[in-house]
Amino acid sequence: MCGIVGYIGHRQAADVILDGLKRLEYRGYDSAGMVVSPQGANLNLVKRAGKLGVLAEAVKTTPLKGTLGLGHTRWATHGKPTDINAHPHLSEDGRLAVIHNGIIENYLPLKKQLLAKGHVFASDTDTEVLVHLIEEHYGGDLVAAVRAALVEVSGAYALVVFHADYELIVAARATSPMVIGIGKNENFVASDVPALLPYTRKVVFLHDGDMALISRDEITVTDFVGQVLEREVSNIDWDAEAAEKSGYPHYMLKEIYEQASVLQQTFGGRFAANGSDVALDLTLNPALIDRVVITAAGTASYAGMVGEYLIEKLARLPVEVEVASEFRYREPVLNERTLCVVVSQSGETIDTLEALREAKRQGAKTLAILNVKGSSISREVDDVLYIHAGPEIGVASTKAYMAMLAAFELLAIWLGRHRGTLSDERAAEIIRALRHTPVLIEQALESREQIAQIAEAFKGYNDYLFLGRGINFPTALEGALKLKEISYIHAEAYATGEMKHGPIALIDDDMPVVTIATKSSLYEKTVSNIQEVKARDGIVIALINEADEEIKNHIDYAISVPETDELVSPLVNVVALQLLAYETAERLGLDVDQPRNLAKSVTVE
Ligand code: AGP
């Protein structure tokens, strides 16, 4: 996710852009840049790797004069965070500028075609393909050139373009957010509302498939083929701080609600056209490994446990998962046929980084499932499978966990297909379920009211037990961690079948038992476990599939989640547990985004 700001009006564009980018820096901070168009002359560009402050310093020494400009703060997806890869990207003649947020899924074949036509690329980003594609179609009509280029592009993106021949900004949206700000003889475009608030509260949220032609005193919204569209003008009454959270009270809630669109970024471009394979840009040769070790910390380790189920099931490779703080000290036995997968949102968790170093010392092949590009882990690992979750601000991980699960789904399919242990049909079935998951996540979010009532009823309890079986045992662990870390309520998780071996002694009417009872190969056993809890006056709060009426006779409270393929169900089920933790902590008046004693990334031992 990146920050985009565009301005056309009577002010110095550079001032408006820099101010706007500062308010969007939470969307990404690998690099930043801006381009300003002094009427008709060539565009003036300044862009730098690093945080926005580096760009601000550079602009001080290279003042950019002009009342039309674009700016961007980057969350790197393709191409390292360097000056060259920073946006904006210019055409070879320096008269066309593009900035972009999202992923151009088919950028490699397009780049090949453009190179064959003699285009010279400066960066290794997917964005630069847009510049050369528009340039290829540009015969003097900028809007027509952008439309023609978009016909050839697939992916999730928001883009903003201008050309030195025009006093006009052209914007287009396909999934990634874009909002227009309406001023007096000036107009704005941005990836999020905070950048607009100092200047206007009148905004137009572009819809998927919208294009906008923005001049100083006119805004026209059309579809990608030119049909004019009516779009509502909204009046924003948020304050600046609320706006950074897009109107949500906490970053954590915003990030829970972003998960459906994050999945589209994680999956972006990685499903093969044949529908039964995945395309992962890895150097790893699966034929050379006979064992997988997954190591991480906290929530990331639970994602690793889901990965264990997936890889063993689909790729028939032995997998073990161990928390990094144990793994790194126990002299594990690894060799060159071991694949060590490290999982980390921040890429800076010291235990995970040291575990990676131990694996490398022993000659294991290493792969990171990682969010932050340019992080320490990204620089030391053989291969990286980026999760593209965008900056995660809430200390309690939600969307990054979701994206890690999605990455493990892709990795397990990729390994299974390479090893011949996963059939076309089964791979296609799982891929179909994955493609449908964003819709199911939106449906799962509709249970929020039901979950809030349960949170209200149980916010005063001091102990919770979370139970899950099979691939959803890690989901129970993650649900318990979410509740612990933001509501400070003691919560522990057990494999449901394990309850009889001790924890059942805890059961009484003082401890809610949250049980994952969605349809699965172990559903009947889960129902009997629930009856064991009820037989001891336990309180059962069960995650069930909407259509499951029968189970309601055995439980006290139901949280309905949509049904999906068992191997994909952890992605849907966890949403309900994230909301349960959030609604509980919110009702206890606790600091949801910065819980006590915690840090977003534990870089100390
Ligand atoms: C999760 O909600 C916690 N913030 C914590 O367990 C976190 O997952 C863990 O510290 C690992 O962080 P990482 O993914 O950045 O390595």
**Residues 180-217, buried b or exposed e (16+ Cβ, 10 A)?**
bbbbeebbbbbbbbbbbbebbbebbebeeebbbbbebe
How far is Cα 300 from Cα 566, in angstroms, rounded to an integer? 20
How far is Cα 547 from Cα 544, in angstroms, rounded to an integer? 8
Ligand 1 centroid to residue 602 C-alpha, Å: 8
Residue 254 designated active-site: no
Quick one: average pLDDT of 422-441? 97
Nearest CA to ligand 1 atom 4: 396
- 1 pLDDT band (50/70/90 cuts)? low
Per-residue pLDDT of 295-307, as tens digits, reads 999 999 999 999 9
Over 90: is that where the pLDDT of 244 sits?
no
Nearest CA to ligand 1 atom 6: 298
Which atom of ligand 1 approaches the CA of 485 most closely?
A: 2
How far is Cα 598 from Cα 605, in angstroms, rounded to an integer? 13
pLDDT score of 156 = 77
pLDDT score of 38 = 79
| Residue 15 or 374, more confident | 15
C-alpha pair distances (Å), 140 with each of 144, 166, 218, 225, 541: 9, 10, 21, 18, 64
pLDDT score of 105 = 86
- 375 pLDDT band (50/70/90 cuts)? confident
Q: What whole-number percentage of the chain has pLDDT above 90?
A: 75
Residue the block writes with tokens 């579809």: 223
Over 90: is that where the pLDDT of 376 sits?
no
Nearest CA to ligand 1 atom 3: 396
Which atom of ligand 1 approaches the CA of 296 most closely?
A: 16
Q: What whole-number percentage of the chain has pLDDT above 70?
A: 96
Q: Which two tokens stand for residue 153?
A: 């592009």
pTM flag (> 0.85): no
How far is Cα 564 from Cα 158, in angstroms, rounded to an integer? 30
Alpha helices in 514-568 (DSSP H): 523-534
Strands (DSSP E) found in 230-364? 234-235, 291-296, 319-323, 338-344
How far is Cα 247 from Cα 239, in angstroms, rounded to an integer? 9
The set of protein residues with a Cβ atom below 6 angstroms from ligand 1 is 297-300, 344-346, 349, 352, 395-397, 485, 601-602
Over 80: is that where the pLDDT of 493 sits?
yes
Residue 112 designated active-site: no
- The helix or strand, by DSSP H or E, that contains position 386, with its residue range, turns out to be strand 383-386
Q: Which domains does the chain have, with CATH numbers?
A: 3-242 (3.60.20.10), 245-437 (3.40.50.10490), 446-593 (3.40.50.10490)
Nearest CA to ligand 1 atom 11: 297
- 271 pLDDT band (50/70/90 cuts)? very high
Ligand 1 centroid to residue 499 C-alpha, Å: 27
C-alpha pair distances (Å), 35 with each of 167, 371, 495: 14, 28, 56
Quick one: average pLDDT of 21-39? 80
Find the length of the chain. 605
Ligand 1 centroid to residue 400 C-alpha, Å: 9
Question: By three-state DSSP, how is residue 469 classified?
Answer: coil
Ligand 1 centroid to residue 398 C-alpha, Å: 10
Could you say which of 2, 47, 365, 484 is catalytic? 2
Could you say which of 519, 525, 534, 600 is catalytic? 600
Ligand 1 centroid to residue 68 C-alpha, Å: 42
Per-residue pLDDT of 161-204, as tens digits, reads 999 999 999 999 987 778 999 999 999 999 888 899 999 999 99
pLDDT score of 29 = 66
